[in-house]
Amino acid sequence: MQKPPIIGIDLGTTNSCAAIVTEDGSVKLIPYKGGDYTVPSVFAIDEKGNELIGHEAKRQWQLNPKNTVYGSKRLVGRSWSSEIVETMRRTVGYEVRPGDRNDVVIDVARREFHLQEIAARILNKIRDVASNYLRLPITRAVVTVPAYFNDRQRQAVKDAGKLVGIEVVRIINEPTAAALAYGIGKKLHETTLVYDLGGGTFDVSIIEIRDRVFEVKATGGDIFLGGLDFDNTMIHHVLTEFAAKTGIDLSQDPVAMQRIKDLAERTKCDLSTREQAPFNIPFITMTAQGQPLNIEMTFTRKKLEELTQHLVDRTLQMVARVLVDAGVSTKQIDEVMLVGGQTRMPIIQERLTKFFGKAPSKGVHPDEAVAIGAALYAHSLEDDTNLRLQLLDVIPMAIGLERAGGDFHIVFPRNAAIPNAKQIQATTSFDGQTELAMRIYQGDNEEAKKNELLGDFVFSGINAGRAGDAQVEVTFDVNVEGILTMSALDPATGRKMKTTVRVTQS
Protein backbone atom coordinates (compact mmCIF):
# COMPACT_ATOMS: atom_id res chain seq x y z
CA MET A 1 0.00 0.00 0.00
CA GLN A 2 1.20 3.51 -0.81
CA LYS A 3 2.49 5.35 2.24
CA PRO A 4 0.39 8.50 2.88
CA PRO A 5 2.39 11.67 2.21
CA ILE A 6 3.10 14.47 4.66
CA ILE A 7 0.93 17.38 3.56
CA GLY A 8 1.65 21.10 3.97
CA ILE A 9 -1.04 23.13 5.77
CA ASP A 10 -1.38 26.90 5.85
CA LEU A 11 -3.52 27.40 8.96
CA GLY A 12 -4.67 30.98 8.36
CA THR A 13 -6.62 33.49 10.44
CA THR A 14 -9.31 33.95 7.79
CA ASN A 15 -8.68 31.08 5.33
CA SER A 16 -6.70 27.83 5.42
CA CYS A 17 -5.47 25.53 2.67
CA ALA A 18 -3.27 22.52 2.03
CA ALA A 19 -0.86 21.35 -0.66
CA ILE A 20 1.17 18.26 -1.55
CA VAL A 21 4.12 17.40 -3.76
CA THR A 22 2.95 14.84 -6.34
CA GLU A 23 4.91 11.82 -7.55
CA ASP A 24 6.28 13.75 -10.53
CA GLY A 25 7.70 16.41 -8.17
CA SER A 26 5.18 19.16 -8.94
CA VAL A 27 3.32 20.95 -6.14
CA LYS A 28 -0.45 20.86 -6.09
CA LEU A 29 -2.93 22.76 -3.97
CA ILE A 30 -5.61 20.42 -2.69
CA PRO A 31 -9.01 21.49 -4.07
CA TYR A 32 -12.18 21.60 -2.02
CA LYS A 33 -15.54 20.77 -3.59
CA GLY A 34 -16.69 23.50 -5.92
CA GLY A 35 -13.14 24.20 -7.02
CA ASP A 36 -12.10 26.39 -4.06
CA TYR A 37 -8.59 25.87 -2.75
CA THR A 38 -9.20 27.59 0.57
CA VAL A 39 -11.40 26.65 3.51
CA PRO A 40 -12.58 29.61 5.64
CA SER A 41 -11.14 29.32 9.18
CA VAL A 42 -14.63 29.61 10.64
CA PHE A 43 -16.37 27.30 13.14
CA ALA A 44 -20.04 27.42 14.10
CA ILE A 45 -22.83 25.50 15.78
CA ASP A 46 -26.27 25.91 14.19
CA GLU A 47 -29.66 25.97 15.97
CA LYS A 48 -29.95 22.16 15.60
CA GLY A 49 -26.63 21.65 17.41
CA ASN A 50 -24.65 20.66 14.27
CA GLU A 51 -20.99 21.67 14.14
CA LEU A 52 -20.13 23.51 10.92
CA ILE A 53 -16.64 24.27 9.64
CA GLY A 54 -15.40 26.29 6.68
CA HIS A 55 -17.81 27.35 3.89
CA GLU A 56 -20.85 25.85 5.69
CA ALA A 57 -20.04 27.90 8.80
CA LYS A 58 -19.42 31.09 6.81
CA ARG A 59 -22.69 30.78 4.88
CA GLN A 60 -24.87 30.93 8.00
CA TRP A 61 -22.72 33.58 9.75
CA GLN A 62 -25.09 36.53 9.13
CA LEU A 63 -28.02 34.77 10.81
CA ASN A 64 -26.05 33.19 13.65
CA PRO A 65 -23.25 35.63 14.60
CA LYS A 66 -23.14 34.73 18.32
CA ASN A 67 -22.36 31.06 17.62
CA THR A 68 -19.92 31.60 14.75
CA VAL A 69 -16.22 31.79 15.61
CA TYR A 70 -13.81 33.56 13.25
CA GLY A 71 -10.31 35.04 13.64
CA SER A 72 -9.67 32.63 16.53
CA LYS A 73 -6.02 32.12 15.51
CA ARG A 74 -5.39 35.54 17.07
CA LEU A 75 -6.32 34.09 20.48
CA VAL A 76 -4.43 30.77 20.25
CA GLY A 77 -1.86 30.37 23.04
CA ARG A 78 -2.78 33.75 24.56
CA SER A 79 -3.21 34.39 28.27
CA TRP A 80 -6.51 35.95 29.31
CA SER A 81 -4.72 38.93 30.84
CA SER A 82 -3.09 40.01 27.54
CA GLU A 83 -4.18 43.29 25.90
CA ILE A 84 -4.74 41.46 22.62
CA VAL A 85 -7.51 39.36 24.18
CA GLU A 86 -9.18 42.52 25.53
CA THR A 87 -9.10 44.13 22.06
CA MET A 88 -10.47 40.98 20.44
CA ARG A 89 -13.36 40.74 22.92
CA ARG A 90 -14.56 44.18 21.83
CA THR A 91 -14.60 43.34 18.11
CA VAL A 92 -16.08 39.82 17.85
CA GLY A 93 -19.70 38.69 18.05
CA TYR A 94 -19.03 35.49 20.02
CA GLU A 95 -18.51 35.07 23.77
CA VAL A 96 -14.88 35.15 24.96
CA ARG A 97 -14.11 34.51 28.65
CA PRO A 98 -11.28 33.37 30.96
CA GLY A 99 -10.45 29.67 31.35
CA ASP A 100 -9.15 28.14 34.60
CA ARG A 101 -5.48 28.31 33.47
CA ASN A 102 -5.39 32.01 32.60
CA ASP A 103 -6.19 30.95 29.04
CA VAL A 104 -9.08 31.92 26.78
CA VAL A 105 -12.31 30.00 26.44
CA ILE A 106 -15.05 30.55 23.85
CA ASP A 107 -18.72 29.76 24.47
CA VAL A 108 -20.59 28.50 21.40
CA ALA A 109 -24.22 27.39 21.71
CA ARG A 110 -23.81 26.88 25.47
CA ARG A 111 -20.75 24.69 24.94
CA GLU A 112 -17.24 25.57 26.09
CA PHE A 113 -14.28 25.40 23.70
CA HIS A 114 -10.59 26.01 24.27
CA LEU A 115 -8.75 27.65 21.38
CA GLN A 116 -6.82 24.48 20.59
CA GLU A 117 -10.14 22.68 20.08
CA ILE A 118 -11.30 25.23 17.49
CA ALA A 119 -7.90 25.05 15.72
CA ALA A 120 -8.10 21.23 15.87
CA ARG A 121 -11.48 21.23 14.12
CA ILE A 122 -10.19 23.47 11.33
CA LEU A 123 -7.08 21.26 10.92
CA ASN A 124 -9.34 18.20 10.87
CA LYS A 125 -11.51 19.71 8.13
CA ILE A 126 -8.44 20.42 5.97
CA ARG A 127 -7.17 16.88 6.62
CA ASP A 128 -10.57 15.42 5.59
CA VAL A 129 -10.56 17.46 2.36
CA ALA A 130 -7.01 16.20 1.62
CA SER A 131 -7.86 12.57 2.51
CA ASN A 132 -10.95 12.59 0.27
CA TYR A 133 -9.02 14.12 -2.60
CA LEU A 134 -5.98 11.84 -2.32
CA ARG A 135 -8.01 8.78 -1.25
CA LEU A 136 -5.42 8.15 1.43
CA PRO A 137 -5.57 8.51 5.22
CA ILE A 138 -3.56 11.62 6.20
CA THR A 139 -1.92 11.58 9.62
CA ARG A 140 1.13 13.85 9.23
CA ALA A 141 1.51 17.49 8.28
CA VAL A 142 3.89 20.44 8.24
CA VAL A 143 1.89 23.39 9.57
CA THR A 144 2.82 27.04 9.14
CA VAL A 145 2.48 29.77 11.78
CA PRO A 146 3.20 33.51 11.76
CA ALA A 147 6.92 34.16 12.28
CA TYR A 148 5.90 36.36 15.20
CA PHE A 149 4.17 33.51 17.09
CA ASN A 150 5.73 32.89 20.49
CA ASP A 151 6.58 29.55 22.11
CA ARG A 152 3.14 29.11 23.71
CA GLN A 153 1.34 29.70 20.43
CA ARG A 154 3.54 27.22 18.56
CA GLN A 155 2.97 24.62 21.26
CA ALA A 156 -0.80 25.22 21.03
CA VAL A 157 -0.77 24.45 17.28
CA LYS A 158 1.05 21.15 17.92
CA ASP A 159 -1.50 20.32 20.64
CA ALA A 160 -4.37 21.09 18.23
CA GLY A 161 -2.96 18.52 15.80
CA LYS A 162 -2.73 15.89 18.58
CA LEU A 163 -6.41 16.38 19.47
CA VAL A 164 -7.45 15.07 16.03
CA GLY A 165 -4.68 12.52 15.46
CA ILE A 166 -2.51 14.67 13.19
CA GLU A 167 1.20 14.52 13.91
CA VAL A 168 2.52 18.02 13.26
CA VAL A 169 5.95 16.82 12.16
CA ARG A 170 7.27 20.36 11.86
CA ILE A 171 6.10 23.90 12.40
CA ILE A 172 7.62 26.46 10.05
CA ASN A 173 7.19 30.20 9.75
CA GLU A 174 4.84 31.54 7.07
CA PRO A 175 7.32 33.98 5.43
CA THR A 176 9.97 31.23 5.32
CA ALA A 177 7.45 28.88 3.65
CA ALA A 178 6.64 31.60 1.08
CA ALA A 179 10.37 32.04 0.38
CA LEU A 180 10.64 28.27 -0.27
CA ALA A 181 7.75 28.50 -2.76
CA TYR A 182 9.53 31.35 -4.50
CA GLY A 183 13.11 30.13 -4.41
CA ILE A 184 13.25 26.35 -4.81
CA GLY A 185 14.54 25.11 -8.13
CA LYS A 186 15.77 28.50 -9.32
CA LYS A 187 19.39 28.27 -8.09
CA LEU A 188 19.06 31.74 -6.59
CA HIS A 189 21.65 33.72 -4.66
CA GLU A 190 19.81 36.72 -3.32
CA THR A 191 18.47 38.54 -0.27
CA THR A 192 14.68 38.59 -0.18
CA LEU A 193 12.31 40.53 2.03
CA VAL A 194 8.97 38.80 2.58
CA TYR A 195 6.15 41.23 3.38
CA ASP A 196 3.30 39.01 4.61
CA LEU A 197 0.04 40.80 5.41
CA GLY A 198 -2.72 38.25 5.81
CA GLY A 199 -6.18 38.26 7.34
CA GLY A 200 -5.05 38.53 10.93
CA THR A 201 -1.29 38.85 11.16
CA PHE A 202 1.62 40.77 9.71
CA ASP A 203 5.12 39.34 9.36
CA VAL A 204 8.24 40.64 7.70
CA SER A 205 11.33 38.48 7.27
CA ILE A 206 14.64 39.04 5.55
CA ILE A 207 15.83 35.76 4.07
CA GLU A 208 19.09 35.02 2.33
CA ILE A 209 18.57 32.38 -0.34
CA ARG A 210 21.61 30.39 -1.48
CA ASP A 211 20.16 27.76 -3.83
CA ARG A 212 18.62 25.28 -1.34
CA VAL A 213 19.79 27.04 1.82
CA PHE A 214 17.27 29.52 3.23
CA GLU A 215 18.73 31.59 6.05
CA VAL A 216 16.50 34.01 7.94
CA LYS A 217 18.53 37.06 8.96
CA ALA A 218 15.83 38.82 10.99
CA THR A 219 12.11 38.71 11.49
CA GLY A 220 9.46 40.90 13.06
CA GLY A 221 5.76 41.40 12.99
CA ASP A 222 2.50 42.07 14.69
CA ILE A 223 0.05 39.25 15.26
CA PHE A 224 -2.70 41.80 15.69
CA LEU A 225 -2.44 43.55 12.35
CA GLY A 226 -4.11 42.20 9.21
CA GLY A 227 -7.03 42.38 6.83
CA LEU A 228 -9.51 42.15 9.73
CA ASP A 229 -8.19 45.49 11.04
CA PHE A 230 -8.63 47.12 7.63
CA ASP A 231 -12.24 45.80 7.68
CA ASN A 232 -12.74 47.12 11.24
CA THR A 233 -11.68 50.68 10.32
CA MET A 234 -14.28 50.64 7.52
CA ILE A 235 -16.94 49.24 9.87
CA HIS A 236 -16.18 51.94 12.46
CA HIS A 237 -16.53 54.63 9.78
CA VAL A 238 -19.89 53.23 8.59
CA LEU A 239 -21.24 53.05 12.18
CA THR A 240 -20.12 56.62 12.93
CA GLU A 241 -21.69 58.01 9.74
CA PHE A 242 -24.95 56.12 10.35
CA ALA A 243 -25.15 57.28 13.99
CA ALA A 244 -24.50 60.90 12.93
CA LYS A 245 -27.39 60.71 10.42
CA THR A 246 -29.94 58.76 12.45
CA GLY A 247 -28.82 58.89 16.09
CA ILE A 248 -28.90 55.06 16.12
CA ASP A 249 -25.92 52.96 17.31
CA LEU A 250 -25.88 49.69 15.34
CA SER A 251 -22.88 48.24 17.21
CA GLN A 252 -25.15 46.40 19.70
CA ASP A 253 -27.16 44.67 16.97
CA PRO A 254 -25.29 41.43 16.10
CA VAL A 255 -27.18 40.71 12.84
CA ALA A 256 -26.76 44.29 11.57
CA MET A 257 -23.06 44.16 12.50
CA GLN A 258 -22.60 40.93 10.60
CA ARG A 259 -24.23 42.40 7.47
CA ILE A 260 -21.93 45.45 7.69
CA LYS A 261 -18.86 43.22 8.26
CA ASP A 262 -19.65 41.10 5.20
CA LEU A 263 -20.12 44.11 2.95
CA ALA A 264 -17.03 45.90 4.34
CA GLU A 265 -14.84 42.92 3.40
CA ARG A 266 -16.35 42.69 -0.11
CA THR A 267 -16.10 46.45 -0.70
CA LYS A 268 -12.47 46.53 0.45
CA CYS A 269 -11.63 43.81 -2.11
CA ASP A 270 -13.59 45.67 -4.85
CA LEU A 271 -11.61 48.85 -4.17
CA SER A 272 -8.37 47.08 -5.10
CA THR A 273 -9.57 47.11 -8.72
CA ARG A 274 -12.04 50.05 -8.71
CA GLU A 275 -11.84 53.70 -7.66
CA GLN A 276 -15.19 53.63 -5.89
CA ALA A 277 -17.93 51.21 -4.84
CA PRO A 278 -21.48 51.56 -3.49
CA PHE A 279 -22.05 50.58 0.17
CA ASN A 280 -25.78 49.93 0.44
CA ILE A 281 -27.62 47.73 2.95
CA PRO A 282 -31.44 47.86 2.83
CA PHE A 283 -33.54 47.56 6.02
CA ILE A 284 -30.58 47.57 8.38
CA THR A 285 -32.83 48.63 11.31
CA MET A 286 -36.07 50.44 12.22
CA THR A 287 -36.83 53.85 13.71
CA ALA A 288 -38.74 53.97 17.02
CA GLN A 289 -41.86 54.59 14.88
CA GLY A 290 -41.24 51.38 12.90
CA GLN A 291 -39.90 53.03 9.75
CA PRO A 292 -37.23 50.91 7.98
CA LEU A 293 -33.77 52.50 7.64
CA ASN A 294 -31.12 51.74 5.00
CA ILE A 295 -27.38 52.32 4.79
CA GLU A 296 -26.65 54.19 1.57
CA MET A 297 -23.07 55.35 1.05
CA THR A 298 -20.31 55.35 -1.52
CA PHE A 299 -16.81 54.26 -0.55
CA THR A 300 -13.90 55.58 -2.60
CA ARG A 301 -10.46 54.04 -2.75
CA LYS A 302 -9.09 57.39 -1.53
CA LYS A 303 -11.33 57.27 1.57
CA LEU A 304 -10.27 53.70 2.35
CA GLU A 305 -6.61 54.73 2.03
CA GLU A 306 -7.17 57.66 4.41
CA LEU A 307 -8.92 55.45 6.98
CA THR A 308 -6.21 52.77 6.90
CA GLN A 309 -3.08 54.88 6.46
CA HIS A 310 -2.06 54.30 10.10
CA LEU A 311 -2.15 50.52 9.53
CA VAL A 312 0.05 50.73 6.42
CA ASP A 313 2.42 53.03 8.36
CA ARG A 314 2.70 50.41 11.13
CA THR A 315 3.78 47.76 8.61
CA LEU A 316 6.47 50.03 7.17
CA GLN A 317 7.79 50.90 10.65
CA MET A 318 8.23 47.15 11.24
CA VAL A 319 9.95 46.75 7.84
CA ALA A 320 12.42 49.49 8.87
CA ARG A 321 13.08 47.80 12.24
CA VAL A 322 13.75 44.41 10.64
CA LEU A 323 16.17 45.96 8.12
CA VAL A 324 18.10 47.47 11.06
CA ASP A 325 18.04 44.14 12.95
CA ALA A 326 19.41 42.34 9.88
CA GLY A 327 22.03 45.03 9.25
CA VAL A 328 20.79 45.38 5.67
CA SER A 329 19.95 48.51 3.63
CA THR A 330 17.00 48.81 1.23
CA LYS A 331 19.49 48.70 -1.68
CA GLN A 332 20.76 45.28 -0.53
CA ILE A 333 17.28 43.74 -0.88
CA ASP A 334 17.11 41.99 -4.26
CA GLU A 335 13.40 41.13 -4.16
CA VAL A 336 10.40 42.24 -2.09
CA MET A 337 7.86 39.40 -2.03
CA LEU A 338 4.20 40.04 -1.29
CA VAL A 339 2.29 37.36 0.62
CA GLY A 340 -1.26 37.48 2.03
CA GLY A 341 -4.50 38.74 0.48
CA GLN A 342 -4.28 42.24 1.97
CA THR A 343 -1.15 42.96 -0.16
CA ARG A 344 -3.47 43.30 -3.19
CA MET A 345 -4.35 46.79 -1.93
CA PRO A 346 -2.73 49.19 -4.44
CA ILE A 347 -1.52 51.68 -1.80
CA ILE A 348 0.55 48.95 -0.11
CA GLN A 349 2.32 48.18 -3.38
CA GLU A 350 2.83 51.90 -4.05
CA ARG A 351 4.28 52.59 -0.58
CA LEU A 352 6.64 49.59 -0.82
CA THR A 353 7.79 50.69 -4.31
CA LYS A 354 8.60 54.12 -2.88
CA PHE A 355 10.30 52.65 0.20
CA PHE A 356 12.58 50.27 -1.73
CA GLY A 357 12.93 52.22 -4.98
CA LYS A 358 11.59 49.24 -6.96
CA ALA A 359 8.29 47.47 -7.43
CA PRO A 360 7.59 44.33 -5.36
CA SER A 361 7.98 40.96 -7.09
CA LYS A 362 4.97 39.09 -8.42
CA GLY A 363 6.97 35.85 -8.16
CA VAL A 364 4.49 33.99 -5.92
CA HIS A 365 0.71 33.82 -5.59
CA PRO A 366 -0.08 35.79 -2.40
CA ASP A 367 -2.75 33.31 -1.21
CA GLU A 368 -1.02 30.07 -2.20
CA ALA A 369 2.69 30.55 -1.54
CA VAL A 370 2.59 29.57 2.15
CA ALA A 371 0.81 26.23 1.59
CA ILE A 372 3.08 25.46 -1.39
CA GLY A 373 6.20 26.18 0.71
CA ALA A 374 4.87 24.00 3.53
CA ALA A 375 4.29 21.14 1.05
CA LEU A 376 7.82 21.48 -0.36
CA TYR A 377 9.25 21.38 3.15
CA ALA A 378 7.04 18.37 3.99
CA HIS A 379 8.37 16.60 0.88
CA SER A 380 11.96 17.29 1.98
CA LEU A 381 11.25 15.33 5.20
CA GLU A 382 9.99 12.19 3.39
CA ASP A 383 12.21 9.07 3.50
CA ASP A 384 12.46 8.74 -0.29
CA THR A 385 12.91 12.43 -1.11
CA ASN A 386 15.41 13.89 -3.51
CA LEU A 387 14.69 17.42 -2.23
CA ARG A 388 17.32 18.44 0.28
CA LEU A 389 16.70 21.75 1.98
CA GLN A 390 18.37 23.65 4.76
CA LEU A 391 16.30 26.12 6.75
CA LEU A 392 18.13 28.39 9.18
CA ASP A 393 15.54 30.35 11.12
CA VAL A 394 15.48 32.73 14.09
CA ILE A 395 13.33 33.32 17.18
CA PRO A 396 11.03 36.32 16.77
CA MET A 397 11.27 37.66 20.34
CA ALA A 398 13.76 37.38 23.17
CA ILE A 399 13.38 34.49 25.64
CA GLY A 400 14.55 34.95 29.21
CA LEU A 401 13.66 34.87 32.88
CA GLU A 402 12.50 37.18 35.60
CA ARG A 403 15.18 38.54 37.90
CA ALA A 404 14.52 39.17 41.59
CA GLY A 405 13.75 42.86 40.96
CA GLY A 406 11.33 42.10 38.10
CA ASP A 407 13.82 42.85 35.31
CA PHE A 408 13.93 40.61 32.25
CA HIS A 409 17.19 38.65 32.00
CA ILE A 410 17.59 37.70 28.34
CA VAL A 411 18.88 34.21 27.59
CA PHE A 412 18.25 34.28 23.81
CA PRO A 413 18.05 37.73 22.20
CA ARG A 414 15.51 38.55 19.48
CA ASN A 415 16.57 37.06 16.11
CA ALA A 416 18.91 34.51 17.74
CA ALA A 417 19.50 31.63 15.32
CA ILE A 418 17.67 28.35 15.97
CA PRO A 419 18.18 25.56 16.87
CA ASN A 420 20.10 27.00 19.80
CA ALA A 421 21.08 26.06 23.35
CA LYS A 422 22.40 28.15 26.25
CA GLN A 423 23.43 27.18 29.73
CA ILE A 424 23.21 29.34 32.82
CA GLN A 425 24.35 28.73 36.40
CA ALA A 426 21.63 29.20 38.99
CA THR A 427 22.00 29.15 42.73
CA THR A 428 19.95 29.27 45.93
CA SER A 429 19.09 32.66 47.40
CA PHE A 430 18.28 31.69 51.01
CA ASP A 431 19.50 29.14 53.62
CA GLY A 432 17.90 25.69 53.56
CA GLN A 433 16.45 26.16 50.05
CA THR A 434 15.72 22.82 48.35
CA GLU A 435 13.85 24.08 45.32
CA LEU A 436 14.70 26.49 42.52
CA ALA A 437 11.87 28.24 40.66
CA MET A 438 12.19 30.28 37.47
CA ARG A 439 9.57 32.24 35.55
CA ILE A 440 10.22 32.13 31.84
CA TYR A 441 8.98 34.92 29.56
CA GLN A 442 9.15 35.79 25.87
CA GLY A 443 9.02 39.32 24.50
CA ASP A 444 10.99 42.50 23.92
CA ASN A 445 10.13 44.49 27.06
CA GLU A 446 12.77 45.18 29.73
CA GLU A 447 10.21 44.45 32.45
CA ALA A 448 9.60 40.70 32.63
CA LYS A 449 5.87 40.88 33.48
CA LYS A 450 5.13 42.96 30.37
CA ASN A 451 6.23 40.01 28.22
CA GLU A 452 4.30 36.79 27.58
CA LEU A 453 4.65 34.24 30.39
CA LEU A 454 5.82 30.93 28.90
CA GLY A 455 5.74 29.07 32.18
CA ASP A 456 7.34 28.20 35.50
CA PHE A 457 10.26 25.83 35.70
CA VAL A 458 10.76 24.28 39.15
CA PHE A 459 13.80 22.17 39.99
CA SER A 460 13.47 20.40 43.35
CA GLY A 461 15.62 18.02 45.37
CA ILE A 462 18.57 20.38 45.95
CA ASN A 463 20.60 19.56 49.06
CA ALA A 464 19.67 22.03 51.78
CA GLY A 465 22.59 24.29 52.60
CA ARG A 466 23.59 27.91 52.91
CA ALA A 467 22.40 30.47 50.37
CA GLY A 468 24.62 30.40 47.29
CA ASP A 469 26.10 26.94 48.05
CA ALA A 470 24.17 24.96 45.43
CA GLN A 471 25.15 25.38 41.77
CA VAL A 472 22.50 24.14 39.34
CA GLU A 473 23.27 24.07 35.61
CA VAL A 474 20.15 25.09 33.68
CA THR A 475 20.07 24.51 29.93
CA PHE A 476 17.64 26.35 27.64
CA ASP A 477 17.17 24.57 24.32
CA VAL A 478 15.14 26.06 21.44
CA ASN A 479 14.51 23.57 18.64
CA VAL A 480 14.10 24.20 14.89
CA GLU A 481 10.42 24.97 15.43
CA GLY A 482 11.13 27.70 17.97
CA ILE A 483 9.82 25.59 20.88
CA LEU A 484 11.66 25.78 24.20
CA THR A 485 12.73 22.81 26.30
CA MET A 486 14.53 23.27 29.61
CA SER A 487 16.69 20.90 31.57
CA ALA A 488 18.61 21.23 34.80
CA LEU A 489 21.40 19.29 36.46
CA ASP A 490 22.56 19.48 40.06
CA PRO A 491 26.21 18.32 39.84
CA ALA A 492 26.28 17.69 43.61
CA THR A 493 23.50 15.08 43.52
CA GLY A 494 23.59 14.12 39.82
CA ARG A 495 19.84 14.84 39.70
CA LYS A 496 18.48 15.77 36.26
CA MET A 497 15.17 17.18 35.12
CA LYS A 498 13.84 18.04 31.66
CA THR A 499 10.62 19.64 30.51
CA THR A 500 9.00 21.41 27.59
CA VAL A 501 7.94 24.58 29.34
CA ARG A 502 4.23 24.53 29.96
CA VAL A 503 2.25 27.37 31.45
CA THR A 504 1.07 26.46 34.91
CA GLN A 505 -0.41 29.72 36.18
CA SER A 506 -0.04 33.45 35.90
The 10s digit of each residue's pLDDT in 335-383 is: 999 999 999 999 999 999 999 999 999 888 999 999 999 999 999 998 8
pLDDT recorded at residue 506 = 35
Instruction: Based on DSSP, count helices (H) and strands (E) in the chain, helices before strands.
Output: 10, 28
How many other CB atoms are found less than 10 A from the CB of residue 167?
Answer: 12
Digit-coded pLDDT (tens) for 11-45: 999 999 999 998 888 899 999 877 889 999 999 99
Give the pLDDT mean for 294-315: 96
Question: Do 354 and 205 share a structural domain?
Answer: yes
**Number of domains the chain is built from:** 3
Among 336, 415, 335, 337, which residue's Cα sits nearest to residue 372? 337
**Alpha-helix residue ranges (DSSP H) falling in 60-165:** 83-91, 115-134, 151-163
Question: Do 276 and 146 share a structural domain?
Answer: no
Give the pLDDT mean for 100-127: 92
320 in helix, strand or coil?
helix
Q: Which of 393, 422, 457 is the last residue of a domain?
A: 393
Q: Which residue has the higher pLDDT, 132 or 84?
A: 132
The amino acid sitting at 407 is D
- At residue 489, does pLDDT exceed 90? no
Catalytic positions, please?
Answer: 10, 73, 174, 196
For residue 492, give its domain range: 395-500
Q: Which residue has the higher pLDDT, 70 or 504?
A: 70
Question: Do 419 and 342 share a structural domain?
Answer: no
Question: Do 325 and 464 share a structural domain?
Answer: no
Question: Do 67 and 161 share a structural domain?
Answer: yes
CB 8 within 8 A of CB 373: yes
pLDDT recorded at residue 36 = 85
Question: Do 172 and 231 share a structural domain?
Answer: no
- At residue 288, does pLDDT exceed 90? no
Question: Do 442 and 302 share a structural domain?
Answer: no
pLDDT recorded at residue 1 = 53
CA angle 110, 112, 115 (to 5 degrees): 140
Question: Do 46 and 108 share a structural domain?
Answer: yes
Q: Mean pLDDT across the chain, nearest whole number? A: 91
- At residue 225, does pLDDT exceed 60? yes
Among 338, 25, 333, which residue's Cα sits nearest to residue 185? 25
Specify the CATH number for the domain of residue 124.
3.30.420.40
Among 332, 387, 370, which residue's Cα sits nearest to residue 18? 370
Give strand pairing partners of 336.
193
pLDDT recorded at residue 81 = 81
Q: Is residue 2 part of a domain?
A: no
- At residue 435, does pLDDT exceed 60? yes
Digit-coded pLDDT (tens) for 160-206: 999 999 999 999 999 999 999 999 888 989 999 999 999 989 999 99
What count of Cα atoms within 13 Å lies in the side-chain half-sphere of residue 263?
A: 22
Specify the CATH number for the domain of residue 235.
3.90.640.10
pLDDT recorded at residue 328 = 96
Question: Do 258 and 213 share a structural domain?
Answer: no
How far apart CA 108 and CA 115 sit, in angstroms, is 12
In this structure, are strands 7-10 and 140-145 parallel, antiparallel, or unpaired?
parallel
Burial of 310 (0-12, 13-18, 19+ CB in 10 A): exposed
Q: Is residue 407 part of a domain?
A: yes
Q: Is residue 1 part of a domain?
A: no
How many other CB atoms are found less than 10 A from the CB of residue 503?
Answer: 19
- At residue 504, does pLDDT exceed 50? no
How far apart CA 424 and CA 458 sit, in angstroms, is 15
